[in-house]
Amino acid sequence: MAECADIQELLPLYALDALPTETQEEVELHLETCAVCRAAADVELAAVSRLALAVPQFDPSPALRERILGATRLREVEPLRPPASMPVPLAAIRQRRGVRQVPFYWVAVAALVPLMLTAWLGTQVMSLRRSVEATVASEQRALASAEVAADIIGRGLHSGTGGGTAQVVGTDMAPDASGMLYYASNQPEGVLTVAGLPSLPKGQCYQLWLIQNDQWMDGGTFYEGEGKGMLIVKAPMPLSSIDMIRVTMEPHGGSPEPRGNRYLWARLKSS
């Protein structure tokens, strides 16, 4: 019974989730086997749940309802996967990003990265070149983007400062979309490549947002062709200092602040 008295002393803090994790778990263990304390905990939890209403009430934007209902019309989000056009070895590298203490392996990987990126970008450039041959001025701009992309990545990889990548993931609005953001450390430039995007309605574009400390900054706009898109990112600060990116659909030319649905996101810095 002494234990019950001790536990019940802690229940208001338990209900507020204000106990250190270990103590919180001890209380939970006790509650699983003690109906008396469980009932007392339920009373505390009910009181705490009322606190959730003690806040000024605001409406979310009308677009949120559409976003949620839109997501329910789409199929379930698939597990994260590398973009279909990426060479397999690079995907393997990404999967091992969390692994530590494999210096030899990393040395080998580091040596291979420029080669693989160059090969992959070469494929992209060739693919885009074929498209250009099929005419259309917008595709000529895409080829130029691919070549600039190769230049930016090349400079980053050969400057000795290294580079970074972030896997870009589709939201529920674009469950088939995925891509990569490539950037050189300490450089404000990078390249975003995506595939699997929904076709843009007339008068719309995709807009990239760079998010740092919850501040959203315009990262440029782009259009998709057959679901694929590429953007040369020019940020006001090194991309390695950005927390996260998101891509929304906005009216042609972009918006001063994000207003449309979100289609892609990636986390750059671990928070």
Partner 1 sequence: MDPASAADQELVTRVTAGDQAALDELYRRHSRPVYSLALHILRDPATAEDVTQEVFLKLWRQSESYVPERGALGSWLLSVAHNRAIDVVRRRRLREEYRLPGSQEVGDVVADGSIDPGDAAGIAEMARTVRSALERIPPAQRQAIEMAFFQGKTHVEISDELGEPLGTAKTRIRLGMRKLRSLLEAEGVEV
Nearer to partner 1, 17 or 32 (CB): 17
Give the nearer residue to partner 1 in terms of CB position, either 20 or 160.
20
CB of 32 to partner 1, least distance (A): 15
Q: Which is nearer to partner 1, 146 or 166 (CB)?
A: 166
CB 173 → partner 1: shortest distance, Å?
10
Specify the residue, 19 or 200, whose C-beta has the smaller distance to partner 1. Answer: 19
- Tokens describing residue 57: 């009430």
Q: How far is the CB of 164 from partner 1 (least distance, A)?
A: 20
Nearest distance, CB of residue 42 and partner 1, angstroms: 8
We find the least distance from the C-beta atom of residue 154 to partner 1, in angstroms, to be 35
Q: Which residues bind partner 1 (CB under 8 A)?
A: 9, 12-13, 15-20, 43-44, 46-62, 64-65, 67-69, 71-73, 76, 172, 214, 216, 258, 271
Nearer to partner 1 among residue 64 and residue 237 (C-beta): 64
